[in-house]
Chain A
């Protein structure tokens, strides 16, 4: 007999094999998942879940696809959380402090409770990246928030009603577009392509017989 544990899916008790993830435990219990299941690899944030261990105080948040079941786990999935996303034109905004004030003024209502950080399923320092956003330090905000999967658990815990993942999304786009250094060789290459510099080179290859292409391929120089 496998080693079984008791879990409570939305309060209802099921016995499932130890070692399963919360997601596979739900499937073992007989759930056909539609909501709350996405990449099943920890990248997409579809399976945000909150749980508490029986008779313990602390509330935990996790991704169901990445978290092993434990004895006495009370589980509720959070397949959707209403985040506020402001609409903007990335070409028209600039990476100034004012843009955050205009789009997400509620970040200045942060009371420093750090509930967002404690709730983060990716173990990010959420309150810290919000502090960077408040100060207009978008490069730091982008770096600190980079692993965010936008599951929204942080926002579910926020007394100030901040939509942290959307704030971070804006900071990353501002950083990627305006603050990070421009790439010279990329612009040069796009110009060369547009001038048709490679057109005939590629057409030559397209017309070569397969045997000749095999020869070229097998003897091509490989950068160290």
Chain B
């Protein structure tokens, strides 16, 4: 059974434009992919998780392709692959710039074909344990009626995604409306460990203008197709294929201490020279390869084929999260986690195209292992929320109680007069 806070498929995955990495070309190998990702993550990834990610990548692509996902291909079937920041081989597979949407809508269609029950508009608000401290279900809340329900389960997989909608440090975000760190809270309160929870990824290129799309993602594919970041003088100020964290930091430096940013209504920004793409690759490249970007800016009268765009870093990805072993289980028995809610696969920074890969590889992995474990687990009988009482007592004794309910579930954007 799938329980989801909004509609099935509503997730950051839907908005992943750039692509999915897999070392499937003859000049590439999973070992090279490993080194790229390990270095790009500042040598902090858990090696056994990263091994699984890169080794299972080609099969993940094959699995998706066999379900009908339309990857960009040459007429002879060769995958069209490009670089992303930090890659040493062109291994970014895409479905135009709707890569995540194309994957998600196909998987959603398959879930419905297989008759898997989906409970939508229902959030998990607490993990339930049994008398042996094993995860045994969750307290659910209907998002519209606020009705509380109990789901009893032999195994539980948390796949609640990221945290951009918490707007850490006041940054804008490219994230989905529901990205409010629910899984970190749920997991932590039952004693699951967090890894690298301090490492948030600022995507270097969030839209800085116009205001209507402030913070929205400008896919890294724009840079991988050849558009360069330039300052107010039209000068390039960094190596074009740096990793995301280094790129974001150089943009912030350009706009702050160097004073070479461009003033906008929301602050400062740098140029992303999109017309360069067509100079380099020929007319029509933008419409063919990044139609969603052309559409997003076109709506506000900006033709990105003719005019450069303004960008500034946006809160994009939670590198850290729940600590898992390579079977997908957290430290709490029968509690699994997969996707952005997990920490440690990428280390302290994630490369473009490794998160779509992560959700597929570790989503399948968690599902397969949770299903196997469920077969050898009896239906839990004595359910308890005693751990929440303990947690609340600890909050009191350490004087850490904030009075705020968590998980937050949705950000509060309504204006209050």
Would you give the 0/1 interface string for B118-147, flagging 1 where the beta carbon is closer than 8 Å to chain A? 000100000000000000000000011000
Residue B295 at the chain A interface, CB threshold 8 Å: yes
Beta-carbon contacts under 8 Å, B28-48 to A = 29-32, 34-36, 38-39, 43, 47-48
Asked if B6 and A38 make an inter-chain contact with CB atoms under 8 angstroms apart, the answer reads yes
Beta-carbon contacts under 8 Å, A143-201 to B = 146-147, 149-150, 169, 172-177, 180-187, 189-190, 193, 198, 201
Would you give the 0/1 interface string for B39-82, flagging 1 where the beta carbon is closer than 8 Å to chain A? 10001000110010011101101100111111101111111000
> For residue A223, which residue of chain B has the nearest CB?
B89
Residue B371 at the chain A interface, CB threshold 8 Å: no
Distance between A55 CB and nearest chain B CB, rounded to angstroms: 25
Distance between B184 CB and nearest chain A CB, rounded to angstroms: 21
With A and B bound together, what is the CA distance between A88 and B110 in angstroms?
A: 9
Asked if B176 and A176 make an inter-chain contact with CB atoms under 8 angstroms apart, the answer reads no
Distance between B363 CB and nearest chain A CB, rounded to angstroms: 18
A210: chain B residues within 8 A (beta carbon): 43
Asked if A87 and B212 make an inter-chain contact with CB atoms under 8 angstroms apart, the answer reads no
Asked if A217 and B35 make an inter-chain contact with CB atoms under 8 angstroms apart, the answer reads yes
User: Can you list 14 pairs linking A and B with CB atoms under 8 Å apart?
Assistant: A30-B416, A38-B6, A38-B10, A38-B14, A43-B98, A44-B7, A44-B101, A87-B115, A176-B65, A180-B77, A186-B24, A189-B23, A198-B55, A222-B88
Asked if B90 and A41 make an inter-chain contact with CB atoms under 8 angstroms apart, the answer reads no
Distance between A177 CB and nearest chain B CB, rounded to angstroms: 4
Would you give the 0/1 interface string for A21-34, flagging 1 where the beta carbon is closer than 8 Å to chain B? 10010011111111
Q: Measuring CB to CB, which residues of chain A are less than 8 angstroms from any residue of chain B?
A: 19-21, 24, 27-35, 37-44, 46, 66-68, 85, 87-90, 122, 142, 146-147, 149-150, 169, 172-177, 180-187, 189-190, 193, 198, 201-203, 205-206, 210, 213-214, 216-218, 220-223
With A and B bound together, what is the CA distance between A33 and B62 in angstroms?
A: 38
With A and B bound together, what is the CA distance between A20 and B90 in angstroms?
A: 40
Count A/B pairs, Cβ under 8 Å: 219
Residue B170 at the chain A interface, CB threshold 8 Å: no
With A and B bound together, what is the CA distance between A27 and B411 in angstroms?
A: 11
Q: Measuring CB to CB, which residues of chain B are less than 8 angstroms from any residue of chain A?
A: 6-7, 9-10, 12, 14-15, 23-27, 29-32, 34-36, 38-39, 43, 47-48, 51, 54-56, 58-59, 61-62, 65-71, 73-79, 83, 88-90, 96, 98, 100-102, 105-106, 109-110, 112-113, 115, 121, 143-144, 174, 176-177, 210-213, 216-217, 241, 291-292, 295-296, 299-300, 410, 412-417
Distance between B326 CB and nearest chain A CB, rounded to angstroms: 12
B101: chain A residues within 8 A (beta carbon): 43-44, 149
Asked if A90 and B24 make an inter-chain contact with CB atoms under 8 angstroms apart, the answer reads no
Known pairs A150-B105, A185-B79, A217-B35 / 11 extra A-B pairs, C-beta < 8 Å: A33-B414, A34-B6, A38-B7, A67-B299, A147-B291, A169-B109, A176-B69, A186-B79, A193-B56, A202-B55, A223-B27
Asked if B31 and A41 make an inter-chain contact with CB atoms under 8 angstroms apart, the answer reads no
B291: chain A residues within 8 A (beta carbon): 147
With A and B bound together, what is the CA distance between A149 and B108 in angstroms?
A: 13
A38: chain B residues within 8 A (beta carbon): 6-7, 10, 14, 176-177
Distance between B395 CB and nearest chain A CB, rounded to angstroms: 27
Distance between B224 CB and nearest chain A CB, rounded to angstroms: 12
Asked if A87 and B113 make an inter-chain contact with CB atoms under 8 angstroms apart, the answer reads yes
B211: chain A residues within 8 A (beta carbon): 19
